Each structure stands twice: as C-alpha cells, then as structure tokens.
Amino acid sequence: MRTLLFLALVLFAASPVASQDKKADGPIALKLIAKTDTYKFDGGGETPKGFKEKLEELAKKLEKGERATPPKALAVDLVLQLTNTSDKEQTIHVGGDTNVHTFELTGGAGVVTLRNPVAFTADFRLPKAVTLAPGKSHEIPVKALADGQRGISRLVFWTGPGEYQLAAKYILATQDGGKGPELKSAPAKITVTEK
C-alpha cells in the first residue's frame, strides 16, 4: 500500500500540471500598471442597480446565442508590462493571436462580463520577437476594458461606484505561434466614483 502511495505521489509531481506551475515562475514577470486608477461611473442614465441588471440580461442573451448589442467597452488607461527579471537577455514573442490577455475584476458594486459578438478576420497573426536585456521591459497599452481573442472578444464592466481590484493574465506565444507560459500580475486598485 505504501509503495502505491509513493508511486502516486511521484507521478503527480512529474505530471504536466506540476510543471506548468513552475513555468509561470520563469524569467519574465507581468505587471499591470493603472496609469489612470480613478474613473467616473457612467451607467448610461441607469442607476448602478439598473445598469447591472441590464448587463446581466444582455449576458444571458449573448450566452444563448441571441442577437444583442453590448454597450461600448469601458475606456481605461492601463499598461501590461513584461519585464525580464533574470540576469540574462531574454527573447519573448508578443503581438500574435496566441498572445491573449484576460482581466479579473473584483469588488466594488459588482462586475459583469459579456461575450463580445465581433467578427474576426480568418488570418492567423504570428507573434513578433522582442529581446529584453536584464531588467528591461516591453509595454502593451490597453485602452479598453476588454480581453480575450485579439483583446476584444470579452467585455468587462464595473457596475457602480466603489473600490475594485483588477488583475491580469497574459499568455506568451512561442516563436512558432504556439502557446507559451501564462503570466499573472498582482492586482491593481481601481476606484470608480459617482458621475
């Protein structure tokens, strides 16, 4: 029985799940920078409660595949910063279809995410190589609170005034356009005030 338990532990430690956790602790770190960290709530004439209910109704329709037009993505001023934390030069591959960032917004008056029914061109965008010296960074500006495929396939909304936490994940591409490691940022504080 002890032999079986030991064998199970050895197999788990060597499994892909365990190795994926190690890959995230590589030489490249992700930081989410909120160049603007305070925004005014705009519910399009709705109260926070009414705005949230309207978004939740839209989310249900979009999930069912029904036709619905979501509101415009929230305008933000953010930067995804990829930094070489090692003492050696590192080459990363960014800007391709495999490079996907996602946001996790929590807190405040609540959060609603919506599928964004947009059409994409059929071309596959390959990443470009960026070489980073030790301690150097590559910055990706983000002007809308949207994420997923090409940065626009999902919309993220705060639903009223309050204090929010916004974290990001970023999948680095491999040289040939495959999926590389997923990087995670610490959360940034976002304040939403009354209009």
Q: CATH number for the domain including 44?
A: 2.60.40.10
Residue 130 lies in a domain: yes
pLDDT band at 88 (very low <50, low <70, confident <90, very high): very high
Domain that holds residue 172: 28-193
Q: What is the mean pLDDT of residues 88-115?
A: 94
Residue 77 lies in a domain: yes
CA-closest candidate to residue 27, choices 87, 113, 93, 105: 87
Measure the CA angle with vertex 137, ends 18 and 39; round to 5°. 95
Q: What is the mean pLDDT of residues 31-35?
A: 97
Residue 5 lies in a domain: no
Residue 81 lies in a domain: yes
Residue 180 lies in a domain: yes
Q: Tell me the two tokens of residue 172.
A: 């680095």
Non-local CB neighbours of 107 within 8 Å, separated by 6+ positions: 162, 163, 164, 165
The model's pLDDT over 128-172, given as tens digits with 9 standing for 90+, comes to 999 999 999 999 999 999 999 888 899 999 999 999 999 999 999
Provide the domain count of the chain.
1
Residue 7 lies in a domain: no
The model's pLDDT over 48-75, given as tens digits with 9 standing for 90+, comes to 999 999 999 999 999 988 888 899 999 9
pLDDT band at 11 (very low <50, low <70, confident <90, very high): very low
Residue 17 lies in a domain: no
The model's pLDDT over 138-147, given as tens digits with 9 standing for 90+, comes to 999 999 999 9
- Average pLDDT taken over every residue of the chain: 86
CA-closest candidate to residue 155, choices 55, 83, 43: 55
pLDDT band at 76 (very low <50, low <70, confident <90, very high): very high
State yes or no: pLDDT of 12 exceeds 50. no
Residue 176: predicted pLDDT: 85
DSSP the chain: -HHHHHHHHHHHHTSHHHHHHHHTTSSEEEEEEESS-EEE---TT--HHHHHHHHHHHHHHHHTT----PPPPPEEEEEEEEEE-SSS-EEEEESSTT--EEEEEEETT-EEEEE------SPPPPPEEEEE-TT-EEEEEEEESEEBGGGTSEEEEE-SSEEEEEEEEEEEEPTTS-EEEEEEPPPEEEEEE--
Residue 106: predicted pLDDT: 97
